[in-house]
Amino acid sequence: MSHLLRSDGHGKQAGFGLTMGGVLNILLDPVFMFVIMPRGLEVTGAALATMLSNTAALLYYLAVFYRLRNTSVLSISPKRIPAGIRHTGEIISVGFPSALSSVLACASIMVCNSLTALHGDIPVAAVGIVKKVEMLPHNVGTGLCQGVIPLISYNYASGNHERMKKTIRSSRIYGLAFTAFCILLFEVFAGAIANLFIREPETVRLTTDFLRITLGRLTQK
């Protein structure tokens, strides 16, 4: 739904929905893992936090679609379905690469969780925390890429290639700078970041190691 809004020129609403879902997930994780759910059900708490944050983002997008129903080509009305069926093939051909990327990302997380679960709940919790921390640079990078695509497209179509190149150059610089900042932050403060989610020593140790492994280096002695 965020992609559809962005394609119709509503980039702010699309970006707000994604940001809201991510921030809400980060805030709800410790609440559900260590306050609401009893000890031993931290993974269940993290799952509930993720479900609720995604549901909140979905409700926000539904409200935006409803508000724009009279001024936009976007619609969730069943009456509009027959008119759009003839474009199904084109939509699938354009969206298949993105869909495949999402499927592979989900599959990798499932395999990672399945392998980690063989070693107990603590490693699963540690991997879950790392995945939540990864959401910050991942979503910022994704948002930057998705946000700059319309600018590149508009400038290319209008023949303003100089501005298009400046846009690409600026987005590349900002993206690399933020990536470098996150790498430094996660490397130096891996333990402190883990402590924001949990205080159990073994989980903190594994989370610290897993976060640094994600950066490409194992620092465990």
Taking all residues of the chain, what is their mean pLDDT, rounded to a whole number?
Answer: 87
Q: Which one, of 55, 53, 54, 71, lies nearest residue 5 by Cα?
A: 71
Q: How far is CA 156 from CA 17, 104, 160, 167, 178, in A?
A: 28, 31, 6, 11, 26
Rounded Cα distance between 187 and 217, Å, is 9
pLDDT 10s digits, 8-62: 888 889 889 989 999 999 999 999 999 999 988 888 999 999 999 999 999 999 9
Helix (H) or strand (E) holding 110: helix 88-117
- pLDDT value at 64 more than 90: yes
- pLDDT value at 221 more than 70: no
pLDDT 10s digits, 158-195: 888 999 999 999 999 999 999 899 989 988 898 898 88
- pLDDT value at 220 more than 80: no
pLDDT 10s digits, 91-129: 888 888 888 988 998 898 888 888 888 888 888 888 888
